[in-house]
Amino acid sequence: MIENPILRGFNPDASVVKVGSDYYLATSTFEWMPGVEIYHSSDLVNWTLVAQPLQGETTVSLVGNLNSGSIWAPHLSYSEGQFWLLITDVKTGTAFKDTLNYVLSAKEITGPWSEPVFVTASGFDPAFFHDDDGKHYLMSMLFDHRLEKKRFAGLVMQEFDLATKSLVGERKKFFEGTDLGVCEGPQILKKDGWYYLLAAAGGTDYSHAATVCRAKQVMGPYELSPYHPFLTTKNDPKNPLQKSGHASFVQVSADEWYIVHICARPLTERGYCPLGRETALQKIEWIDGWPRLATGTSAPERLIDEPSIAKEVIQKKDHSSRTDFDEPTLPSYFKSLRQPIGSQCSLSERKGYLRLYGQQSITSLHRQTLIARRWQHFAFRVETKMEFEPQSFQQLAGLTLFFDTDNWHYLHVSYDEETKEKYIQLETDAINQFQYASERLVIQPNLAIHLAVEVDHEWAQFSYAVGDEPWQMIGDPVSAAQLSSDFIKENGKLAFTGAMVGICAQDMDNHRSYADFDFFTYTESHS
C-alpha cells in the first residue's frame, strides 16, 4: 500500500505531466526562492526535485510582495518538443489583485529555462491546453475587482501562439463555475472526443473541492458530471486528508488513471495544519465517460494500492537530512525569502561553514538573510552550531521556526551595549504581536553555541548549549500549531504556505556582521 501524502510538507497546487515513461510534477512556492519546484518520478510514489526554474529576480522580482503572495499554482505541460511552465506572481491581495502571469519554456526539464515572458494579468491559476489539432489555449480564472461583482468571475480561455509566446484573438469566458463557488485552477484533458474540465472549487480551506465537467467543443458549453463533487472532504471531518481539491489528471496506461491533488493534515479534527497543503495521489476510474474516484465516493483515501509501475517500490517516508556545509552549493531543500540568497551567503569564505551576512529584520518583506526548509513531519528535531560575535543590539543571528514575516519563533544571539554582554533569548511573533518567550541569558563570548528546537505536534521546545556545556532548555514550550494558515486566517490575514525551519542573520545597522554555521540537521521522529 502507498501512504498519502506522496509529497509531504508545504507542496501545494500540483500540476503533473507524463513524457514517455517519466512523470514530472510542479508545485507552488509563493514567496520562497528559488521559485517553483519540479519533481520527477518513474512510479508516482517517490519524487525527486530536479528543477527550480525561477532562480533570479531580473524579470520576476518578489521583493516587497505580500506574505502568501508571489508564485501561485504553476502549470506544467509538454508540447512541440518542449516543456512549458505557466506561473502567476501575485503582487497585491486586497479588493484588487495584481496577478502577473508569465510563461517559461525548456527543452529539458532540468533546463536551461527561458526567461519568463509576461502574458496577461487578468487572473491567476493559468494553464495551457494543447489540442490535438495543433492549436494551443491559455485559460485561467478571471478576477473582478468591482465591489458589486463576484471576485471569482469564472474561467476564461484564449488561443495562444507558442512560437511568439503571446495570446491570439479574443478572450472568452467559457465556464461560470458550479454551486460550490470560487472556481479556479482549471485543467483540460481530451479523451475519447470529449474535453474534460477539472477545476478547483469552494476555496482553499475545509470546503475545498474539485469538480469535473465535459464538452464536445473546447470552449464549451460544459455539462456537470453526475459524480459531483469529484473530490472533497467538506462533509467528512474525520478524513485524514482534509482540504482536498485542486487536482491534476495523470494517465499510466489506457486502463489506469490517477489524480494528484491538494490535501492537508490537521493536528486535531478541523484544526491547525502547520505542514501546510501537501500533495496526495488517488486512483480514478471511468464510468460511462465520466471520471470518478476508484473508491466510488468523493472522499480521498490515506492508503491506496500502489500503481502498477510501483509494485517493487519502497515508499520514502522519512525526510531527515544533514548538511555539514562542505558542498559547493546549498542543498536544494533550502529556500530563501523573496530573493536568491546570493552574496549574503558564502560556503567558501570559511571552509566547512555557511557564512550568513545580516541584512534587514526578520519582519522585512524585502531583503532578508534567511534560509529554511519545510517541515515534513509533525515531530522532528533540528540542531545547528553557530559562531557569532555581535557588537550591537541591532545584530542578531540564530534558529527560527518560521511561517511568514508576521508569524515565527526566533531563538537568537545578540549583544547588550549597556552591560557589554552577549546574550541569547527567544522571541515570538503571532500576527505582529511580539513578545519574549524566555529570559535574556548571558553567554560567554568567543565560544561556539549549539541551537536546537524539538517540535512535537502542537508544541515546540527550544534549547541551547555553549561550548562543551550540556544542553539547556530555554523558555517554556511555544505553539507549533499557530505556525499555520488556519491560525493566521482566523486572525483576518492571508495565508497559503506552510511552516519552515531555518537559520538567519540580521544586521540592522551596517549590514556587515556575519554568523558562521557549522552544520544543520533535521531529524524526524517516526516512533
Cell digits for 29? 512556492
User: What is the distance, to the nearest Å, from the Cα of residue 220 to the centroid of all Cα atoms in its chain?
Assistant: 32
Residue 184 annotated in active site: yes
Residue 13 annotated in active site: yes
Contact 365, 65 (CB under 8 A): yes
Contact 196, 267 (CB under 8 A): no
The catalytically annotated residue of 31, 184, 383, 404 is 184
If we measure between CA atoms, which residue out of 156, 188, 158, 209 comes closest to residue 77?
188
Query: b/e map of 469-483 (b: 16 or more CB within 10 Å)?
Result: eeeeebbeebbbbbb
Interatomic CA distance for residues 41 and 2, integer angstroms: 15
The dihedral built from the CA positions of residue 43, 194, 202 and 200, taken in this order, carries a sign that is: positive
Interatomic CA distance for residues 496 and 484, integer angstroms: 9
The dihedral built from the CA positions of residue 71, 75, 78 and 84, taken in this order, carries a sign that is: negative
If we measure between CA atoms, which residue out of 317, 320, 331, 430 comes closest to residue 372?
331
| 3-class SS string, 138-166 | EEEEEECCCCCCCCEEEEEEEEEECCCCE
Interatomic CA distance for residues 261 and 281, integer angstroms: 6
The catalytically annotated residue of 13, 301, 387, 507 is 13
If we measure between CA atoms, which residue out of 225, 276, 311 comes closest to residue 2?
311
Cell digits for 135? 492549436
Q: Give the position of cell 517517490.
A: 46
If we measure between CA atoms, which residue out of 441, 442, 409 comes closest to residue 427?
409
Amino acid residing at 348: S
Residues labelled as active-site residues: 13, 184
